[in-house]
Amino acid sequence: MKISGVPYRTIWLNQDGWSVTVIDQTVLPFKLETKTLTAMADAAAAIKQMIVRGAPLIGVTAAYGVCLQMRVDASDKALENAYHTLMETRPTAVNLRWALDEMMAALRIVPQGDRTQIAYARAAKMADDDVETNRRIGVAGLALIEEAAKKRNGQTVRVLTHCNAGWLGCVDWGTALAPLYLAHDKGIPLHVWVDETRPRNQGAALTAFELSGHGIPHAVLVDNAGGHYMQHGEVDLCIVGADRVTAAGDACNKIGTYLKALAARDNGVPFYVAVPSSTIDWTMSDGVKEIPIEERSPREVTDLTGMTADGRLETIRVANPGSLARNPGFDVTPARLVTKLITERGVADASREALLKLFPERRA
């Protein structure tokens, strides 16, 4: 995608052929800054500190973290250390494990002298594959928006989304936002309700930033307003992403997604979850019981960071001094509340059998 007319990916290899640069998402939308990663520890810190975030981007960043380790030490011990260090950065997004497993599978079986070159080639392919995968998710989801547009007889299609599942959460295109970009470019009139997504405000900061850059009309809502607009017939469909989807179709996404799905079901609004196949965890069948939910710092709840009138970024306390806070990063939407899953291979019901029809190789 583009920022001020300049095409960007969220992560790229530098001209030196080995260091990696990422967009620092902790200061968007107020500043556009980048961070250069020159060591495996830099990649781990970027993931842990949410300089990069979004399940697909986390996976690719981890892959490049392995590359950076192989460049300085390609031993079996260093490879194992990189795997475990990077795996521990974020517990919920399954793409992290998927990407690291892919890197391990590619590197374990080759001589140490070949590992650096093979690692960089595998990470680059992973990044390119992510872009194409998300474009195909966009094509699959576009059909659902076109269906909604027919029902609206040419009037604006109103979409609600939660958190940021756009190109900033991937290498490019995004998952939940890719269908919106294609629909807008095709001339379908859209209006997007953007949940602010407390406590880190990825909707208000990142999704709104993306939609503004693409020229898509939108409005930021407080997280509790979505149900109100559904009750009054002002939401035609919901599209969200996910950090992990079980083989049974349960979807784990940013905290607050479950409540949106409940409101959508109560008001007859279709609720779609857009994910690449790397986000499907075939080892799990009960998301509520099995998916590990990251508990983040309570300061994300008690404090807020924003830009002052004179252009300074400031963090202020908004909660009562001395009060405790809890901060689960994600919740799980049971499959029964998911209308359809949107993948790069097409659209499916949120069930094991429907997913296996799209991914028959998983029947083994």
Q: pLDDT tens across 265-303, in order?
A: 999 999 999 999 999 999 999 999 999 999 999 999 999
Q: How many helices (DSSP H) and strands (DSSP E) are in the chain? A: 13, 18
Banded pLDDT at 142 (limits 50, 70, 90): very high
What pLDDT sits at residue 362? 93
Which entry of 172, 195, 236, 243 is annotated as an active-site residue?
Answer: 243
Across 132-136, average pLDDT? 98
CA atoms of 188 and 289, how far apart (whole Å): 40
Across 248-254, average pLDDT? 98
- What Å distances lie between residue 147 and 107, 183, 236, 350, CA to CA? 45, 11, 11, 19
Could you check whether the bond before residue 321 is cis, i.e. omega within 30 degrees of 0?
Answer: no
SS3 195: strand
**313: which residues sit within 8 A by CB, 6+ positions away?**
27, 30, 31, 305, 306, 307
What pLDDT sits at residue 81? 98
CA atoms of 242 and 286, how far apart (whole Å): 15
Retrieve residue 294's tokens.
């990251």
Across 121-137, average pLDDT? 98
Across 222-232, average pLDDT? 98
What pLDDT sits at residue 221? 98
Q: pLDDT tens across 318-356, in order?
A: 999 999 999 999 999 999 999 999 999 999 999 999 999
> How far does Cα 301 stand from its chain's mean position?
21
What pLDDT sits at residue 2? 86
Is the pLDDT confidence value at 363 over 90?
no
Query: For this structure, is 16 an active site residue?
Result: no
Retrieve residue 217's tokens.
């009309």
**290 and 246 in contact (C-beta within 8 Å)?**
yes
Across 109-115, average pLDDT? 97
What pLDDT sits at residue 4? 83
Q: Could you give the percent of the chain with pLDDT greater than 90? A: 97
Extents of the domains making up the chain: 2-129, 139-363
Across 183-191, average pLDDT? 98
DSSP-derived pairing of the beta strands 340-343 and 271-274: parallel
Is the pLDDT confidence value at 51 over 80?
yes
> How far does Cα 76 stand from its chain's mean position?
31
Across 167-192, average pLDDT? 98
Q: Which CATH number fits domain 139-363: 3.30.70.890, 3.40.1190.10, 3.40.1030.10, 3.40.50.10470?
A: 3.40.50.10470
Is the pLDDT confidence value at 36 over 90?
yes
CA atoms of 221 and 354, how far apart (whole Å): 34
CATH superfamily of 2-129: translation initiation factor eif-2b, domain 1 (1.20.120.420)
What pLDDT sits at residue 5? 85
What pLDDT sits at residue 12? 98
